[in-house]
Amino acid sequence: MPLRLDARDAGFEAAFQSFLNAKREASADVGAVVSAIIEAVRTRGDAALFEYTETFDHLELTADTVRFRSTEIADAASKCDPGALAALRIAATRIEDFHRRLLPADLDYKDDDGIRLGARWTAVESAGLYVPGGTASYPSSVLMNAIPAKVAGVPRIAMVAPTPNGAVNPLVLAAAQLAGVQEIYKIGGAQAIAALAHGTESVPPVAKI
């Protein structure tokens, strides 16, 4: 509930001072909590990942349910507004076209002594995408991360999306389907990042997040 202070009130000074003195969560506090979560997932794998997901997202997961099934993704996409899907398709086409124009060119030539020289660009073997969920759910973030990775030639793309109480914006899954992402997990927060970085029994690690 918002705190309202009125400088005209007799108790304003005391109330304002109390507000200034109130303990707030400092970045150091947040850092300590996040570090503990990361370490727990690193050492305990799925067990810690599922515990934190139940605590923060109120969602019970198992090794069999942590990943969205293809039928769940298709079902979500079928429920989306046709106009929204059309907008996603237009955006996807533009994003792919733009990033294809950004692809760097390999270098291959011979110098004056006839020695062949060059450089070759290669994609990382895997990439992890964190897509916001809950009240801040943006299907566009799926396209803006997944499509450039696809254009670059990344063979494996794993996506995580918070699914509080088991709910997810269907447009997020529709955007993933449109971008060709099939490996999607129902996890979020620091625990999801830790799973992507270190890997668990159910979530193989990625090379880049």
Give the tens place of pLDDT for each residue, 87-138.
999 999 999 999 999 999 999 999 999 999 999 999 999 999 999 876 567 8
Tokens of 169: 């914006």
Report if residue 206 sits inside a domain: no
Report if residue 124 sits inside a domain: yes
Domain count, the chain: 1
pLDDT exceeds cutoff 90 at 150: yes
State which amino acid sits at residue 21.
Answer: N
Q: Which residues contact 68 (CB under 8 A, 6 or more apart)?
A: 173, 184, 185, 186
**Distance between CA 108 and CA 119 in Å, rounded?**
7
pLDDT for the residue numbered 120: 96
The residue assigned the tokens 């997020």 is 172
SS3 state at 69: coil
Report if residue 207 sits inside a domain: no
Express each pLDDT in 3-37 by its tens digit.
Answer: 788 888 888 898 888 888 876 666 667 888 999 99
DSSP helix, strand, coil percent of the chain (3-state; round to 5): 50, 10, 40
pLDDT for the residue numbered 27: 67
Task: Provide long-range contacts, Cβ within 8 A and 24+ apart, for 41-45.
Answer: 41/191, 41/194, 41/195, 41/198, 41/200, 42/194, 42/198, 45/199, 45/200, 45/201
Report if residue 9 sits inside a domain: no
Report if residue 2 sits inside a domain: no
Report if residue 189 sits inside a domain: yes
pLDDT band at 178 (very low <50, low <70, confident <90, very high): very high
pLDDT for the residue numbered 1: 54
Report if residue 15 sits inside a domain: no
Q: How far apart are the first and last CA of the chain?
A: 36
Q: What's this model's pTM, rounded to 2 decimal places?
A: 0.83
Report if residue 20 sits inside a domain: no
Express each pLDDT in 55-85 by its tens digit.
Answer: 999 999 999 999 999 999 999 999 999 999 9
Q: For residue 73, what is the domain's CATH number?
A: 3.40.50.1980
SS3 state at 72: helix
Range(s) of the domain holding residue 90: 27-198
pLDDT band at 47 (very low <50, low <70, confident <90, very high): very high
